[in-house]
Amino acid sequence: MKIHDFVFATKISEACELLRKTGESAYLIAGGTSTFFVKSRAPRNVIDINRLPLKGIAKKDGVFKIGACTTVNELMKYKAAGWVLNRVALRFVNQQVRNISTIGGNVAKVFYWCDFPVALRVLEGTLTLTGSATHRVKISEVFHNITAQKAAFKNAILEYIEIPQLTKGMGFGYAKETRTSEGFSSVTAAAFVQVEHGLIADVRIALGAVLPFPLRMFDLEASLKGKKADRSAVEGMNFQKLDKYNLTPREGMTPEYCRHLVEVKIADVVSAALAEATGGSL
């Protein structure tokens, strides 16, 4: 990426005004790691938002409020009951990039390998975005599809992400497959379950990397709801429901292997989430 000008914004209102005034050539920077992947040679005017008060994680009333400029390393180090994003951060490329990349940058520009959009799709919660006004939107609405995501982030600054704390009876699973330890993901999957009276009361499954944008697997979720929360639910999953997706094999995988790997990873994350929710092992 070719940089023409570089300014630090010190207030959110100032950053928004700069974004609006600079127009198409504006490029917001938090960690700045995405510039490595931006191939356009058009000169960009960079607005650095690292001096904005958007760092850190706070827990209040069962909700984690995460500043958009919080680094992946901070997400990994943070400890609290019901906090699960450390598990996602741990799988994030390497320590060097974890030290710099921010959660805001990871969800604002979604590359197929991005970890946090997949995890957030199952955890749900809200995003607080400021453009001409500040508004709080559900993650499910913003990440419904790529068009909705791009529209939400156009000329807007993500201030916070809020996700609920996991409590008793809830579980989360996260998995991704890479060919080498720091490689891009070949398949990323996440699951959230809520178990009540031994049954799966709620379940959310998201799939990434083999799709251009992470998707919720609503059909699979529906087939699990109400089932007994044990190994039989995972073994009985009807993977034919994946037939409608045009999966992209990565890293030289054959389509057959890609499909097989997707099924394995989905079963893994659902098993892990069920095990956590039931306090056992599946």
Ligand X SMILES: Cc1cc2nc3c(=O)[nH]c(=O)nc-3n(C[C@H](O)[C@H](O)[C@H](O)COP(=O)(O)OP(=O)(O)OC[C@H]3O[C@@H](n4cnc5c(N)ncnc54)[C@H](O)[C@@H]3O)c2cc1C
Q: Identify the CA nearest to 75 among candidates 94, 102, 97, 49.
A: 102
- 92 binding ligand X? (CB under 6 A): yes
Nearer to ligand X, 178 or 223 (CB): 178
Q: Which two tokens stand for residue 170?
A: 């809830």
Q: State which residue, 12 or 63, has the beta carbon closest to ligand X.
A: 12
Nearer to ligand X (CB atom), residue 83 or residue 184: 184
Residue 109 or 241 having the CB closest to ligand X: 109
Q: Which is nearer to ligand X, 131 or 169 (CB)?
A: 131
* Residue from 45, 70, 106, 149 binding ligand X (CB under 6 A): 106
DSSP letters along 71-107, please? Answer: BHHHHHH---TT--HHHHHHTSS-HHHHHH-BHHHHH
Provide, rounded to whole angstroms, the least separation between the CB of residue 173 and ligand X.
17
Residue 111 burial (CB count, 10 A): 15
- Give the tokens for residue 39: 């191939």
Query: Which region, judged by CB under 6 A, interacts with ligand X, from 97-105, 120-128, 215-223, 236-244?
Result: 97-105
Q: Can residue 67 be called a binding residue for ligand X (CB under 6 A)?
A: no
Nearer to ligand X, 128 or 278 (CB): 128
Give dist(CA 220, CA 225) in Å, integer: 9
Cα–Cα distance for residue pair 155/20, rounded to 1 Å: 7
Site for ligand X in 153-172 (CB under 6 A): 153, 157-158
Residue 205 in contact with ligand X, rule: CB under 6 A: no
Among 64, 113, 143, 172, binds ligand X (CB under 6 A): 113
Candidates 176, 201, 180; CA nearest to 190 is 176
Q: Does 213 bind ligand X (CB under 6 A)?
A: no
3-class secondary structure, 262: helix
Sole binder of ligand X in the list 22, 45, 70, 101 (CB under 6 A): 101
Nearest to 121 by CA among 209, 236, 181, 50: 209
Q: In this structure, what token pair is assigned to residue 247?
A: 């999966």
- Ranges assigned E (strand) in 197-282: 199-208, 215-216
What is the 8-class DSSP label of residue 165? P
In the complex with ligand X, the residue whose CB is nearer, 170 or 191, is: 191
Footprint of ligand X on residues 27-46 (CB under 6 A)?
A: 27-36
Q: How far is the CB of 47 from ligand X (least distance, A)?
A: 8
Q: Which residues bind ligand X (CB under 6 A)?
A: 27-36, 49, 68, 92-93, 97, 100-102, 104-106, 108-109, 111, 113-115, 153, 157-158, 184-185
